Structure 1
């Protein structure tokens, strides 16, 4: 004779204080709180030997029969949502994840420290990237001690490796027609031969010599002086005769000179023009202090007459030329007037 456990509510061993409905053949998904169980009026069979749900009554279930205790997993309870629609279960889950992350962080920090209290821990991966150490001066940048190009007291010709002192009352234009390193007097005036143009009482430029085939600084200076005079007081680069052209010239000096530690040569002319007082033009040629074979040419043009800079300023500027990075660069010639 076969005995089976009859349908009914039986304690759910998977959920505390809960009963689940046994339909006589299998467990169902229906549950109810244990305190809602009414008193049973009739006897019911009870399994023995630990098999089947405990049953009140006097009819035992034969050994090995009856449903297994809590054969199905407990259903997931409905999630209750708090204000704003956020599930209340979410903070609990987030808290669990945060606690696990904190535990991992602590373990990693201990491993990184190696247990040595004298060793600083590695920087946190979530922090700002550590700053790279500054490059040693002079290793990849300009020479140590090189003057800044925006220093108002210095005209810097980086291509040729020299600096020139900027006199008081002079300035460094941001752009020029001939695109060479230039400084000029701050005050300009209408050119006497062309009222549509502006001229300056003084102008100095530094450039690489065009006469690369010439054998010496002397040869370069003597060949360049005419071009220097023409560009300053005859026909300029755009073809204007700002002073109605040069009518004559007189050579005032032609001699060797030491410039930026190199032996160079100087030629100076006095030029007269068709309009205006004319002026003084000087070319100084010398080997580049960078050690290259190229020659550097510095041209100086000062107006003659009371409005022009003092002629002695040419010597002061020339003697103040220094190699880039020379500790004595700057200051020389600062007292030159305009």
Structure 2
């Protein structure tokens, strides 16, 4: 039985909760909310209803303690992060409450103009000329231009534009500037040189140049972006941007957003990169400002 994504008791630190993405534990952690206080009846003694409430509360605490003990004992195998490979029990999550807007993302796909990145706690504006991903193997992709076309290089189908978002977990670097500068080369190579299945849809990159780079305010946090113009052996090439900024949920791990836009008349407007960046917001906080270039928001 597959455990759905959500906040569960952390096997390696039972006093905290950890985000389970549906397949594995992530680095997002938080302190659980305090349970509501059960009122104590006034009078000579508890009524029958008050006794029932007290017994129910005690039973719930006892079950939670048993489940927590079982998870901790089964999760620590003495090798690496205790519980890092242990999935939460589907029938007994440590926290019965849904994540609040302040501490974790909630789906809001009912809004046709917004794409929700649940794990990183952000929403991205779905501009005209963009669509939610369909038939896309890369799970990090959050939006694409509609339709596909025959790649000008190796056989395959290409898209004129993609936007992807992921949490940076395999890197100890905490500087958004260093991460963005280190990511841009890989982002360009995957998009226009050699993809993940070793195809060369554009017959490789012939040159690149720096278009722009600098600090950027994203969802009220200070980040950094780097934008390249890439030229390829086949086709018009394109623009690639790497942008890193702190997440507003969990342990505030850094988030990396990549933009890949084909150049030429068939590619999306380059201004869409800035428009999407300006429209990124924390889930549940539409009033938080964004910005590009010198428009720097508050940082932590």
Show CA shifts across 1:49-107 (max 9, x none): xxxxxxxxxxxxxxxxxxxxxxxxxxxxxxxxxxxxxxxxxxxxxxxxxxxxxxxxxxx
Rg (Cα) greater in structure = 1
Partner residue, 1:28: none
For 1:177 and 1:150, locate their aligned partners in 2 and report how far apart those are by CA, in whole Å. 24
For 1:183 and 1:151, locate their aligned partners in 2 and report how far apart those are by CA, in whole Å. 15
> Are 1:259 and 2:218 counterparts?
yes
Is the 1:147–1:325 Cα contact (8 Å) retained in structure 2? no
Is the 2:153–2:201 Cα contact (8 Å) retained in structure 1? yes
Partner residue, 2:246: 287
Partner residue, 1:322: 281
For 2:208 and 2:256, locate their aligned partners in 1 and report how far apart those are by CA, in whole Å. 20
Matches within 5 A, 1:71-150: 140-143=97-100, 146=106, 148-150=108-110
Query: Which of 89, 107, 122 pairs up with 1:162?
Result: 122
For 1:148 and 1:293, locate their aligned partners in 2 and report how far apart those are by CA, in whole Å. 21
Q: How big is the alpha-carbon RMSD for the aligned residues of Structure 1 and Structure 2?
A: 2.1
For residue 219 of structure 1, give the secondary structure of its aligned residue in structure 2.
helix
Is the 1:157–1:181 Cα contact (8 Å) retained in structure 2? no
For 2:228 and 2:169, locate their aligned partners in 1 and report how far apart those are by CA, in whole Å. 20
Is the 1:177–1:237 Cα contact (8 Å) retained in structure 2? no
Distance 1:227 1:318, change over 3 A: same
Kindly report structure 1 stretches of 4+ aligned residues shifted beyond 6 Å: none
For residue 171 of structure 1, give the secondary structure of its aligned residue in structure 2.
coil
Is the 2:141–2:162 Cα contact (8 Å) retained in structure 1? no
For 2:281 and 2:108, locate their aligned partners in 1 and report how far apart those are by CA, in whole Å. 14
For 2:193 and 2:120, locate their aligned partners in 1 and report how far apart those are by CA, in whole Å. 27
For 2:169 and 2:156, locate their aligned partners in 1 and report how far apart those are by CA, in whole Å. 27
- Consecutive unaligned residues of structure 2, counting only runs of 5 or more, are 1-95, 292-300
For 1:239 and 1:177, locate their aligned partners in 2 and report how far apart those are by CA, in whole Å. 15
Is the 2:117–2:142 Cα contact (8 Å) retained in structure 1? no
> Are 1:186 and 2:146 counterparts?
yes
Deviation at 1:189, TM superposition (A): 0.7
Deviation at 1:303, TM superposition (A): 0.7
Partner residue, 2:111: 151
The structure whose RCO (Cα within 8 Å, separation 6+) is larger is: 2
- Consecutive unaligned residues of structure 1, counting only runs of 5 or more, are 1-138, 333-338
> Are 1:204 and 2:137 counterparts?
no
Is the 1:211–1:220 Cα contact (8 Å) retained in structure 2? no
Query: Which of 282, 296, 299 pairs up with 2:255?
Result: 296
Partner residue, 1:109: none
Q: What is the number of equivalent residue pairs in this alignment?
A: 191
Deviation at 1:201, TM superposition (A): 0.9
Deviation at 1:140, TM superposition (A): 2.0
Deviation at 1:160, TM superposition (A): 0.8
Is the 1:156–1:181 Cα contact (8 Å) retained in structure 2? no
Deviation at 1:297, TM superposition (A): 0.2
Show CA shifts across 1:9-52 (max 9, x none): xxxxxxxxxxxxxxxxxxxxxxxxxxxxxxxxxxxxxxxxxxxx
Deviation at 1:298, TM superposition (A): 0.3
Deviation at 1:178, TM superposition (A): 2.4
